[in-house]
């Protein structure tokens, strides 16, 4: 049995003006794809595994056309060399947008299908923040998506996509799929599976799994910051008994739809000023506030200074801001050296709707790294300790701060460019607040200018009738 493996994974905010190019991706080619830490299930599989090409990048703006075409032809060339194939496993994310190509995954699968032929089974693993389309459903034979957000079941999902493929090949099954798009488009912060109503919605999948004729049931929340026709929530079932699958898919879809008004933020939330009012009223130190509109792990540009401006205006003391992506300002700090004072033009240039802040800063820490792109500088600006980085990146783990000499618990508040807190920060937080700050990944999606999503869609539209209809 011959199974090829590959894929491309990123999440593209179409409201961001920054293009993702080759340098933003980690690329694995040929044998490099056989990463047994990522795919431990490949080690003792009876099948012959043929590695092809895989690229992944932090969420960002759209992928440049040239980069995408280069990746695609590399993948297809290797896929062709791996023929004949019984199966193809694709390790995906599901929300990629390429300059001039909406539904980039659909394009990728269609091209792969032309190479491998109709008899080869194609299975894909997805992030639940992925968007589907008719083209995707026409070219994939099966798919499964994460059931947790924050994502703590990534390995289980990859394992399931692969074992489902193996099972079908071993037993000669050509699976059926049922897909129901649900016209609800919400950010991940309103659909975290750690809170209700999403926890119960996903818990229902456990009861569907053992039903005869069903191999997988997945709910995709979708990716809200892609202004594309396909952006919406989806229910997808893979199995062998279409009647059972349709019945269960309709139940899940209807439940998602009926619950739409109940998807809230689950943690205190409000404007930047309201976040700071909240923090001032708390007795504890070690409070975490999300600067959610500029979250790089959702596609934010990562250099907005809206929060910093307000912190300085309000003369807030003992605050950490992590971080601001600014290569020239970071370089200026390295040139000046630890202990020196300098005037910085900080952030505010990337998304075109803000201006840099001119601030007097004192350099307090410089990360000792070999590569310029890994540079991180910490500066003190009045009462605010600011983490700056050469490249756009998150500071989402306690270790990210400890490595910079910052112990979060020693500060009144830590402002992080993130949406919901990852479990590691949630563990140490003495209080959590989600600031609905502006940016290309604005949580208040009604403030964004959507032109291409299919309307009506909740919550952009509120008063319309909908009933589940099986699309594929
Ligand atoms: Zn996700």
Number of domains, the chain: 2
How sure is the predictor about 354, in pLDDT bands with cuts at 50, 70 and 90? confident
pLDDT digits (tens, 9 = 90+) for 98-130: 999 999 999 999 999 999 999 999 999 999 999
Domain boundary among 244, 262, 280: 262
- Mean pLDDT score of the chain: 96
Whether 177 maps to a domain, the answer reads yes
In 3-state terms, the chain is what percent helix, strand and coil (to 5)?
30, 25, 45
- Whether residues 253 and 160 fall in one domain: yes
Reported pTM: 0.92
- Distance (angstroms) between ligand 1 centre and the Cα of 149 equals 7
Instruction: Give mean pLDDT, residues 431-440.
Output: 96
* Cα(132)–Cα(94) distance, integer angstroms: 7
How sure is the predictor about 199, in pLDDT bands with cuts at 50, 70 and 90? very high
List CB contacts of 366: < 8 A, sequence separation 6 or more: 333, 334, 337, 338, 375, 376, 377, 378
Whether 447 maps to a domain, the answer reads no
pLDDT digits (tens, 9 = 90+) for 140-164: 999 999 999 999 999 999 999 999 9
Percent of the chain with pLDDT over 70: 100
Instruction: Judge whether 378 and 385 are in contact, CB under 8 Å.
Output: yes
Whether 465 maps to a domain, the answer reads no
- Distance (angstroms) between ligand 1 centre and the Cα of 418 equals 12
Whether 468 maps to a domain, the answer reads no
The domain of 167 spans 2-262
- Whether residues 62 and 158 fall in one domain: yes
Residue 472 has a pLDDT of 67
Whether 83 maps to a domain, the answer reads yes
Residue 169 has a pLDDT of 98
The CA–CA distances, whole Å, from 368 to 334, 361, 371 equal: 10, 20, 9
- Distance (angstroms) between ligand 1 centre and the Cα of 465 equals 29
- Whether residues 235 and 283 fall in one domain: no
Residue 422 has a pLDDT of 86
Whether 455 maps to a domain, the answer reads no
- Whether residues 161 and 303 fall in one domain: no
Instruction: Give mean pLDDT, residues 78-91.
Output: 98
Instruction: Give mean pLDDT, residues 443-453.
Output: 95
- Distance (angstroms) between ligand 1 centre and the Cα of 72 equals 23
Instruction: Give mean pLDDT, residues 243-268.
Output: 96
The DSSP secondary structure of 332-385, one letter per residue, reads: HHHHH-TT-EEEEEES--SSSSS--EEEEEEEEEE---SSGGG-EEEEEETTEE
- Whether residues 390 and 425 fall in one domain: yes
- Whether residues 276 and 128 fall in one domain: no
Instruction: Judge whether 195 and 106 are in contact, CB under 8 Å.
Output: no
Whether 27 maps to a domain, the answer reads yes
- Distance (angstroms) between ligand 1 centre and the Cα of 83 equals 32
- Whether residues 17 and 43 fall in one domain: yes
Instruction: Give mean pLDDT, residues 416-425.
Output: 91
- Distance (angstroms) between ligand 1 centre and the Cα of 297 equals 9
- Whether residues 243 and 364 fall in one domain: no
Percent of the chain with pLDDT over 90: 96
Is it the case that residue 266 has pLDDT exceeding 80? yes
Domain boundary among 217, 244, 262: 262
Q: 78-90 as b/e, with b when 16 or more CB fall inside 10 Å?
A: bbeebeebbbbbb
Domain boundary among 262, 297, 315: 262
Residue 471 has a pLDDT of 85
- Whether residues 208 and 285 fall in one domain: no
């Amino acid at each position: 049995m011959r199974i090829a493996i590959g894929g491309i994974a990123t999440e593209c905010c179409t409201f961001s003006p920054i293009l993702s190019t080759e340098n933003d991706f980690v690329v694995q080619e040929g044998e490099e794809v056989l990463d047994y830490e990522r795919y431990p299930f490949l080690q003792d599989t009876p099948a012959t595994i043929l590695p092809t090409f895989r690229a992944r990048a932090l969420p960002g703006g759209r992928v440049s056309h040239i980069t995408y075409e280069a990746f695609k032809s590399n993948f297809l060339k290797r896929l062709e060399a791996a023929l004949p194939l019984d199966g193809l496993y694709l390790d995906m994310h599901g929300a990629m947008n390429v300059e001039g190509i909406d539904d980039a995954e659909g394009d990728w699968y269609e091209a792969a299908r032309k190479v491998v032929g109709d008899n080869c089974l194609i299975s894909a693993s997805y992030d639940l923040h992925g968007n589907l389309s008719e083209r995707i459903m026409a070219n994939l034979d099966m798919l499964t998506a994460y059931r947790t957000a924050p994502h703590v079941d990534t390995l289980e999902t990859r394992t399931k996509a692969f074992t489902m493929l193996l099972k079908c090949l071993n037993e000669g099954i050509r699976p059926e799929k049922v897909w129901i798009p649900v016209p609800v488009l919400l950010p991940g912060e309103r659909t975290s599976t750690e809170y209700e109503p999403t926890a119960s919605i996903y818990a229902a999948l456990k009861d569907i799994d053992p039903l005869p004729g069903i191999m997988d049931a997945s709910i995709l929340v979708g990716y809200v910051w892609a202004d594309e026709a396909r952006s919406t929530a989806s229910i997808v079932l893979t199995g062998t008994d279409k009647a059972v699958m349709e019945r269960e898919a309709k139940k899940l879809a209807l439940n998602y739809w009926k619950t739409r008004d109940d998807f809230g933020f689950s943690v205190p939330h409000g404007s930047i000023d309201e976040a700071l009012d909240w923090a001032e009223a708390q007795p504890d130190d070690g409070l975490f506030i999300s600067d959610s509109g500029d979250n790089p792990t959702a596609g934010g540009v990562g250099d907005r200074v809206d929060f910093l401006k307000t912190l300085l205006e309000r003369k807030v003391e003992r605050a950490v801001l992590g971080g601001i992506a600014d290569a020239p300002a970071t370089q200026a700090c390295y040139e000046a050296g630890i202990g020196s004072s300098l005037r910085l033009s900080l952030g505010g240039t990337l998304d075109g709707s803000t201006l840099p802040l001119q601030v007097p800063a004192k350099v307090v820490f410089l990360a000792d790294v070999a590569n310029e792109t890994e540079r991180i500088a910490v500066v003190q600006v009045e009462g605010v300790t600011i983490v700056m980085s050469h490249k756009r990146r998150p500071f989402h783990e306690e270790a990210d701060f400890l490595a910079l000499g910052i112990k979060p618990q020693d500060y009144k508040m830590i402002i992080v460019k993130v949406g919901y807190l990852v479990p590691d920060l949630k563990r140490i937080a003495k209080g959590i607040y989600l600031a609905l700050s502006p940016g290309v990944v604005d949580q208040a999606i009604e403030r964004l200018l959507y032109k291409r999503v299919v309307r009506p869609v909740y919550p952009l539209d509120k008063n319309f009738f909908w009933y589940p209809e099986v699309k594929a």
